[in-house]
Structure 1
Amino acid sequence: MALVTGAASGIGHATVRRLARAGAHLVLADVNATGTAAVADSINDTYGEGRALAVPTDVTDETLVRRVFREAAVAYGGVDIVVNNAGLVTAQAVEDTTLAEWQRLHDVLSTGYFLVAREAVRLWQEQGSGGSLVFVGSKNALAAGTEIAAYSAAKAAELHLARCLAEESGPHGIRVNSVCPDAVIEGSELWSEDLRQERARNYGIKAEDLEAFYRDRTALKVNITPDDVAEAILFFALPQSAKTTGAVLTVDGGIRAAYVR
């Protein structure tokens, strides 16, 4: 049984579909209640009633995070896999970054991931069964860039949180690993027109050339899709990675500055 945050679109949606194909029952958590319900309905239509449950959730709200875990336990008897994937992106020069914007990014990407991870660890300790916790990080957690400091710092905090949890929770049979993709534009609600325009301006290109720019800067000359990331998440979720924890798997086509050392 898998609980996925940020499940309404992009990487989260692709992960839900991939886990469903692998046989998982699912709890879908997202602040987008309508989108989450639509994804759950699609899974249930395809795989049978009861395979997916949508629970509107804001990961920055401690009460709502606790509720989604309670509902998962009641509906399916427990949780085996948690994918920490709620997302938010803004980009601006540091001198133009407001305290409110900095705090909003850290609320979702750092504190929100902590709240979800904490409830997962609590539940797995109570179950006594262990579990797999997968953080969806970012290339920006590993490689510095310009005009995206607030987002990158929040993602870096998230990445190190995952490593600390791997060390602390290992004796309980809990594995914690991270997947770090780069520039997943396809199907993502995060890539607004404003964000596209800002990143294109930062790189000195036209917005319509952004995907080609991201492709051409990789060693493999590829764009990254939600399905690519979902496959990496599946690896960490399932028993084939049973002896792996504290790891970082990049899904970025090869970005030299983000090679894990």
Structure 2
Amino acid sequence: MSHNEVESASRTRTVTTQDGLELVVEERGDPSHPTVVAVHGYPDDRHVWDRVAADLAADHHVVTYDVRGHGGSAAPGAPAGYDLELLAADLRTVTDAVSPDAPVHLLAHDWGSIQTWHAVTREDGTPSAMDGRVASFTSISGPCLDHVALFLRRRGLRDLRPVLTQALHSWYTLAFRVPVLPELMIRSGLLGALVARTERIPRPSVRDAVNGLELYRRNLPRRLGRPQPRRTDVPVQILAPLGDAYVTPAMATSAAGYAPDLRVRYLPGGHWIVRKRAGVIARCVRELVAERSGGTAAPALARAGARGAALVRTGGRPGRASRWEGGLAVVTGAGSGIGREIARQVADLGGRVVVADVSEAGAAETVDLVTRRHGPGRAVAAVVDVADEAAVAALAERVAAEHGVPDLVVNNAGIAVAGSFADTTAQEWQRIVDVNLWGVVHGCRHFGALLAAHGEGGTIVNTASAAAYLPSRSLPAYATTKAAVLMLSQCLRAELAGAGVGVTALCPGFVDTPITGATRFAGTDDATQAVRRRDAAAAYTRRGYTPQRVAARLVRAVERDLPIAPVTAEAHVGLLASRLSPGLVRALARVDGTR
């Protein structure tokens, strides 16, 4: 066995707590590397971290341990032995044993996070249990109980919705405080089977599940009834699973008012994300450790810091700022029209934008508009023909290398061809399919792969059209490509759902954009084409629906994760008509709108 293999092998020992209990501690990796101490929750033991620990052990010293009453560790003889103060003291004992000379990086989940929050925070005028021993803390699905109580009181006075939502998620905390019945359900196997089946995890140990009930019974009444504004200066990273059945994202980030050095990442996944997405958890921890060790913050971590700062400013109240602040968007066709306004809207909300367009001058003008409003750094230009797959692939690679994986990708570039099917040439068909369909396919393939592999979710918006579901004898080529984009978006939405990546088809109607003045009218000479372009542009101008309103609609669609986002009134009515009265829609398709 090589030296590296010896250093990475698992090593187990015991440590003795201040009240005489033996705790089982497992170590992996080279002790000379930064130490990460991971604390498990209920009803788990240290093995919940095995996959995360195996990943991190390549370049970290990783320590896991069975908390008192769980796994191989001894159990206290009385319920008082599960008080948070003793659990916090245990964490200090373990860290002093495994890293006596250097601060450690803490990683915790569920009740492990609850006790770790208690250990790293302090009441006014008193030191914390971990004073001087913590370099960073990554918390998953476990808030500080004092913060929870203060959050519920503060929000309950102004907005009952998050309070009621969390109450529905936390029903089990009341059930666990009922005498005898929870123990009977656990020992019968019913509760373990239910958790294992619904969460798709191994069935928990009966001993762990029974002992852990005292965590709820001893600590919830004491901390929720008399909360203190416990604060910490420790750099904190909160990983909030969006599909957590027990802890809502709002509750997970309730520490925002008490942890000023905060980073927040909303991750696709459920409560036991530590088992199912170990690679993502390990990467998030690795990035924070690297930053705290003097390295440059990874782009995703920098965005998490901007999001955390927004939450701190609002006292933990989630909103648009926490959704968009510091984010990164890539928008194609952003040199004019709808794409330009989407880029400006994202920048206005605090995000950064890669402005991609086939026109170098158009992209530069959009960047200049954003820079004049927000200063340098909010927008960068990229020249790309979306019909060229190699160019799109190179753009995706360059964006990831220079700016990180984007949160939002808007495949917006498009052209228009009007005229009958008979008049539309093969060359005109080829060009519109290359841009409107293949351009979206290329963007989805190369940027979608980045988002899915990154594991932090995101959104792809594909600009379709009301023409996607409203056939017209005047727009066979355009409508065909946009219908294909709509169907592609719905198929891709189903495929990427498991990766937490949303896909939205944006369907504008008659919008006043430069595309009307560049429409190709098939089967016409230059003079006739110029007249029709002028007439079409005038008609759209009279309609008066601006690209700014489309961009605002896109923002709402992304926030609500809509599958289809019709924009104008005619787009809404057309979608409804296509579903309720397709015969009427087919009849209207016979009208020639080009004359």
Q: Deviations over 1:76-96 (max 9, x none)?
A: 222100011001001111111
Give the conservation status (yes or no) of the 8 Å contact 1:134–1:236: no
Give the conservation status (yes or no) of the 8 Å contact 1:92–1:198: no
Q: Secondary structure at the match of 2:494?
A: helix
* Equivalent in the alignment of 2:435: 108
- Inter-partner Cα distance in structure 1 for 2:346 and 2:507: 19
Asked if 1:78 is matched to 2:395, the reply is: no
Q: Shift of residue 126 of structure 1?
A: 2.1
Q: Which of 543, 560, 566 lines up with 1:250 in the alignment?
A: 566
Give the conservation status (yes or no) of the 8 Å contact 1:200–1:210: no
Asked if 1:170 is matched to 2:511, the reply is: no
* Equivalent in the alignment of 2:380: 53
- Inter-partner Cα distance in structure 2 for 1:101 and 1:198: 14
* Equivalent in the alignment of 2:539: 210
Residue 208 to residue 236, structure 1, CA distance change in 2 (3 Å)? closer
Where does 1:97-176 land on structure 2 (aligned, <5 Å)?
A: 97-176=424-503
- Inter-partner Cα distance in structure 2 for 1:86 and 1:155: 12
- Inter-partner Cα distance in structure 2 for 1:112 and 1:170: 22
The worse-fitting range, judged by mean Cα deviation, of 155-164 and 58-67 is 58-67
Give the conservation status (yes or no) of the 8 Å contact 2:512–2:537: no
Q: Which of 201, 221, 225 lines up with 2:546 in the alignment?
A: 225
* Equivalent in the alignment of 2:220: none
* Equivalent in the alignment of 1:192: 518
* Equivalent in the alignment of 1:39: 366
Q: Secondary structure at the match of 2:570?
A: coil
Residue 200 to residue 160, structure 1, CA distance change in 2 (3 Å)? farther
Partner AA of 2:549 in structure 1: D
Q: Shift of residue 175 of structure 1?
A: 0.2
Q: Secondary structure at the match of 1:94?
A: coil
| Higher relative contact order (Cα pairs below 8 Å, separated by 6+ residues) | 1
Q: Shift of residue 51 of structure 1?
A: 1.1
Give the unaligned 5+ runs of structure 2.
Answer: 1-327, 522-527, 580-595
Give the conservation status (yes or no) of the 8 Å contact 1:9–1:189: no
Give the conservation status (yes or no) of the 8 Å contact 1:125–1:172: yes
- Inter-partner Cα distance in structure 2 for 1:29 and 1:178: 19
Residue 140 to residue 80, structure 1, CA distance change in 2 (3 Å)? same
Partner AA of 1:258 in structure 2: L
Partner AA of 1:210 in structure 2: A
Partner AA of 1:54 in structure 2: A
Residue 34 to residue 208, structure 1, CA distance change in 2 (3 Å)? closer
Q: Shift of residue 155 of structure 1?
A: 0.5
Q: Shift of residue 182 of structure 1?
A: 1.2
Q: Deviations over 1:126-184 (max 9, x none)?
A: 21111101111111101011221011001000110000000001000010011111122
Q: Deviations over 1:52-79 (max 9, x none)?
A: 1101001011111012112222232221
- Inter-partner Cα distance in structure 2 for 1:133 and 1:119: 11
The worse-fitting range, judged by mean Cα deviation, of 20-29 and 36-45 is 36-45
The worse-fitting range, judged by mean Cα deviation, of 151-160 and 251-260 is 251-260
Q: Deviations over 1:192-246 (max 9, x none)?
A: 3875x76997xxxx6586237x74xxxxxxx321011101111233xx32xx35x
Residue 38 to residue 147, structure 1, CA distance change in 2 (3 Å)? same
- Inter-partner Cα distance in structure 2 for 1:148 and 1:99: 15
Asked if 1:26 is matched to 2:26, the reply is: no
* Equivalent in the alignment of 2:308: none
Give the conservation status (yes or no) of the 8 Å contact 1:87–1:190: no
- Inter-partner Cα distance in structure 2 for 1:104 and 1:22: 35
Partner AA of 1:211 in structure 2: Y
Q: Secondary structure at the match of 2:345?
A: helix
Identity of aligned residues (%): 33
- Inter-partner Cα distance in structure 1 for 2:520 and 2:501: 39
Partner AA of 2:345 in structure 1: R
Q: Shift of residue 50 of structure 1?
A: 1.4
Give the conservation status (yes or no) of the 8 Å contact 2:417–2:520: no
Residue 209 to residue 9, structure 1, CA distance change in 2 (3 Å)? closer
Q: Secondary structure at the match of 1:154?
A: helix
Q: Could you say which structure has the larger radius of gyration?
A: 2
Q: Secondary structure at the match of 2:502?
A: strand
Q: Secondary structure at the match of 1:224?
A: coil
Q: Secondary structure at the match of 1:119?
A: helix
* Equivalent in the alignment of 1:2: 329
Residue 178 to residue 105, structure 1, CA distance change in 2 (3 Å)? same
Residue 103 to residue 194, structure 1, CA distance change in 2 (3 Å)? closer
Give the unaligned 5+ runs of structure 1.
Answer: 216-222
Residue 254 to residue 16, structure 1, CA distance change in 2 (3 Å)? same
Q: Secondary structure at the match of 1:254?
A: helix
State the number of aligned residues: 244
Q: Secondary structure at the match of 1:2?
A: strand
- Inter-partner Cα distance in structure 2 for 1:160 and 1:207: 28
- Inter-partner Cα distance in structure 1 for 2:537 and 2:432: 26
- Inter-partner Cα distance in structure 2 for 1:249 and 1:143: 15
Residue 211 to residue 40, structure 1, CA distance change in 2 (3 Å)? closer
